[in-house]
Chain A
Amino acid sequence: MEAQQKSKKLLQIHKNDNVVIVVTSIHAGDHEVIDGRDITFTQEIGIGHKVAARHIKAGEKVYKCGVPIGSAKEDIPVGAHIHLHNLKSDYISTYTRDSDHAFAK
């Protein structure tokens, strides 16, 4: 946790979480130390988004606020952005505007 204490951009909400939350926008080229690793971000990540606080294996549950919010669809390396592309609900698939097009096919 010391790494996150020093960070001005990432916040761990609950002690059991394997994600940290972006609290100040991250830009491509920004550096952060997460889980002892020096991470260089290659893309912009906005406030409220999630980043892996450690390596998360495919199928492993992702925890935020101490509660599982779904399962990893693939291996997620430490520092990676976590969103629709690599996390799925254990409850019901998330509806996005693109989901609509699936019906149209």
Chain B
Amino acid sequence: MHSPSSSQRLEGYLRSDHRKGIRNYVVVAYLVECAHHVAREIVDQFRGQPVHLIGFGGCYPNAYADRMMHSLCTHPNVGGVLLLSLGCESFNRRRLAEAIATTGRPVNTIVIQQNYGTRKSIETGRAWVEQALKQIADVPRAAIDVSDLIVGTVCGGSDATSGIAANPAVGRAFDLLVQKGAATIFEETGEMIGLEEVMSARAVTPELGRELKMSVGKAARYYKVMGHASFAPGNAEGGLTTIEEKSIGAYCKSGDSPISGLIKPGDVPHHGGLYLLDVVPDGEVRFGFPNINDNAEIAELIACGSHLILFTTGRGSVVGSAISPVIKICANPETYERMSDDMDINAGKILRLEATVDDVGHEIYDKVLEVVSGVPSCSEELGHQEFVLTYKSFEPIGPSCLPA
């Protein structure tokens, strides 16, 4: 039988918007690539301490990047923010700093051109982070419950085993989390082509069902323009017969709960349930692929409030993330043996018939609570803090997307 993990009292960091964090990081954020080096030099002086680096490299303005940075800098896992600006980029640094200050978090902006260049800016930044760490150490704590959590899921470095072992186990863990009142988020609409009817039937309202179907249709059009082949002959050699079957790999991470809403990057679910995150840009195809790599998707899940990320892999991804811990679930038993330092959960046991999907689902659920309690995940322990943010374009979600 599974241990009643819920009896354990967990504590979180209480923020002014009543959200609760599971970590308390100072984030150093560069607002253009030209400020990246200075930001990194500051962060590098705090190795092993709760200081993370994020940023946006573009010099041209972009509403999506602006919204992402606002959401990330006021994420419940963030206690304070240092902004690094070169001085001439388009990013509206004053508005971002004001939004962060409104939440009561310590915030400071260093404009490198006004702060006597690289060396002086690194020194000013280091001193500020040092005092900010002291300042946020006594942020109020509050009991945190599963119903306070938002958990996202993503897959990367997939192989034939991902869809068989790790993804169904995450689906089971999602069901357990939703039953306890958590909000869970899945995405990758481009990998749900062929399943839109099945998925929309799970929507809590018919109107939401239509929105879900439209989001998959949008993804299909977008990927077609990008020339992205959704079913390669190699897939059939691995035993996949139809596009629906291939799509299931991504889809079954969602579990069996009803779908409570459709959100876009930066939208935070306000109550428990299962949500689909639409990561495919709206309008004409611009700026390239919807997500250039797994971390672009992880950053979007975190911008939607995810406290932690369940990452399934078969071939063996090693990435973590800035701001929210990443829990790695490995589907392939051989990969697990080769890369066990990087893997939190060995879902390959399912293929070896040493555990059931249900067993591993419970194991993932328990691991979530352990990481919430402060125990670092493997990628956290190893210092992974990957982050990427590029140009995209979205329209706001429609009124049917979040039924009350």
Contact = CB atoms under 8 A, between A and B. Distances in A.
A56 to B, nearest CB: 13
Contact of A89 (B163, B194, B239): B194
Which of B229, B236, B245, B256 is the most central at the interface, judged by chain A CB atoms within 10 Å of its CB?
Answer: B245
Tier of interface size on chain A: 20 to 34
Interface string A1-21: 000000110010110000001
Given A65-B248, A70-B242, A91-B194, A14 B353 contact: no
Contacts of A58: none
A4 to B, nearest CB: 9
B241 A50 contact: yes
B239 A47 contact: yes
Interface string B348-390: 0011110001000000000000000000000000000000000
Contacts of A46: 239
Given A46-B239, A82-B241, A65 B168 contact: yes
Contact of A68 (B198, B236, B239, B351): B198
Contacts of B233: 95-97
A8 to B, nearest CB: 6
A92 B198 contact: no
B242 A88 contact: yes
Contacts of B352: 23
Interface string B226-266: 00010101001011111111001001100010000000000
B160 interface: yes
A48 B161 contact: yes
B31 interface: no
A68 B244 contact: yes
A contact patch SS: loop
A49 B163 CA distance: 12
Given A8-B353, A23-B351, A96-B233, A91 B244 contact: yes
Contacts, number: 92
Interface in B239-298: 239-245, 248, 251-252, 256
Contacts of B238: 48
Interface string A48-86: 111000000000000011111110000000000011100
A14 B244 contact: no
Nearest to A86: B241
B28 interface: no
Contacts of B239: 21-22, 46-50, 83
A11 B241 contact: no
Contact of B243 (A48, A67, A94): A94
Nearest to A69: B245
B402 interface: no
Contact of B231 (A64, A69, A70, A94): A94
Contact of B164 (A48, A67, A84): A48
A2 to B, nearest CB: 14
B195 interface: yes
Nearest to B248: A65
A87 interface: yes
Contact of B244 (A11, A48, A67, A96): A67
Nearest to A71: B242
A90 interface: yes
Interface in B190-207: 193-195, 198
Contact of A67 (B231, B252, B351): B252
A66 B256 contact: yes
Contacts of A69: 241-242, 244-245, 248
Contacts of B161: 47-48
A13 B243 contact: no
A47 B164 CA distance: 10
A95 B231 CA distance: 7
B242 A65 contact: no
Given A21-B164, A65-B168, A97-B233, A83 B241 contact: yes
27 contacts: A11-B351, A13-B168, A13-B357, A14-B168, A21-B239, A23-B351, A23-B352, A46-B239, A49-B239, A64-B245, A65-B251, A67-B198, A67-B244, A67-B248, A68-B244, A69-B241, A69-B242, A69-B245, A70-B244, A83-B236, A84-B241, A87-B242, A90-B244, A91-B194, A94-B236, A95-B233, A97-B233
Interface of B: 160-161, 163-164, 168, 193-195, 198, 229, 231, 233, 236, 238-245, 248, 251-252, 256, 350-353, 357
Among all A-B residue pairs, the 3 with the closest Cβ atoms:
A48-B239, A48-B160, A89-B242
Given A23-B164, A70-B242, A97-B233, 8 more contacts: A8-B353, A14-B168, A48-B161, A48-B240, A50-B241, A89-B242, A90-B242, A91-B242
